[in-house]
């Protein structure tokens, strides 16, 4: 709104006072590109949180990790993930606890941490067996520079496949 008003005023101004020195008119017009750049920068700040809200509405989050353990199905099995301590925060030492029901698997699963909509580099959590289908390991979820808080933990069982847990962390 401010930009449009500013422009129309300067056009009117130049029409009425066409005999005024040219320099005045030129220096007034110079504010326009600066105003546009400021507007673009402002939009870049405002838009990412809006698109993040849009992502949430699509229902990509399948786990409320702040409330407790989450369970997803993998074939005929159930895989459970819990992250401690809660609240689950970025840049903290976290313990990842995984369990799988059914017949014992021979090979230990691992967890890959990433963001659902952004490649954040390799972040692997190594798990060790704790007995009867249970595994645990330590890891850190990093803080995303975009400010987005939705992360994905992919639990990968070499023999039976992988399952995604998508949840919000606290920054």
What is the closest distance, in whole angstroms, from the C-beta atom of residue 90 to Cu ion in the complex?
Answer: 11
What is the closest distance, in whole angstroms, from the C-beta atom of residue 129 to Cu ion in the complex?
Answer: 31
Contacts (Cβ under 8 Å, ≥6 apart) of 59:
none
- Cβ nearer to Cu ion, comparing 31 with 171: 171
**Are the C-beta atoms of residues 111 and 158 closer than 8 Å to each other?**
no
What is the closest distance, in whole angstroms, from the C-beta atom of residue 153 to Cu ion in the complex?
Answer: 14
What is the closest distance, in whole angstroms, from the C-beta atom of residue 48 to Cu ion in the complex?
Answer: 11
- Cβ nearer to Cu ion, comparing 91 with 118: 118
Q: Which residues of the shown chain bind Cu ion in the complex (CB under 5 A)?
A: 115, 118, 120, 144
Query: Cα–chain-centroid distance for residue 138?
Result: 21
What is the closest distance, in whole angstroms, from the C-beta atom of residue 115 to Cu ion in the complex?
Answer: 4
| Dihedral pair phi/psi, residue 37, rounded to 5° | -60, -45
Contacts (Cβ under 8 Å, ≥6 apart) of 93:
138, 140
**Are the C-beta atoms of residues 137 and 111 closer than 8 Å to each other?**
yes
By Cβ distance, which residue is nearest to Cu ion?
A: 144
């Amino acid at each position: 709104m401010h930009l449009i008003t500013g422009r129309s005023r300067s056009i009117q101004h130049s029409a009425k006072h066409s005999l005024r020195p040219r320099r005045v008119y030129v220096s007034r017009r110079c504010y326009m590109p600066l105003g546009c750049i400021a507007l673009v920068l402002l939009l870049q700040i405002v838009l990412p949180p809006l698109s993040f809200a849009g992502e949430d509405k699509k229902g990509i989050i399948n786990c409320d990790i702040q409330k407790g353990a989450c369970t997803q199905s993998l074939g005929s099995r159930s895989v459970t993930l819990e992250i401690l301590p809660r609240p689950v925060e970025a840049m903290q030492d976290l313990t990842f606890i995984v369990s799988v029901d059914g017949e014992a698997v021979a090979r230990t699963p691992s967890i890959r941490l990433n963001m659902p909509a952004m490649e954040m580099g390799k972040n692997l959590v190594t798990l060790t067996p704790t007995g009867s289908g249970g595994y645990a390991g330590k890891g850190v979820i990093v803080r995303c520079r975009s400010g987005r808080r939705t992360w994905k933990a992919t639990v990968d069982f070499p023999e039976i496949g992988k399952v995604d847990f998508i949840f919000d962390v606290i920054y």
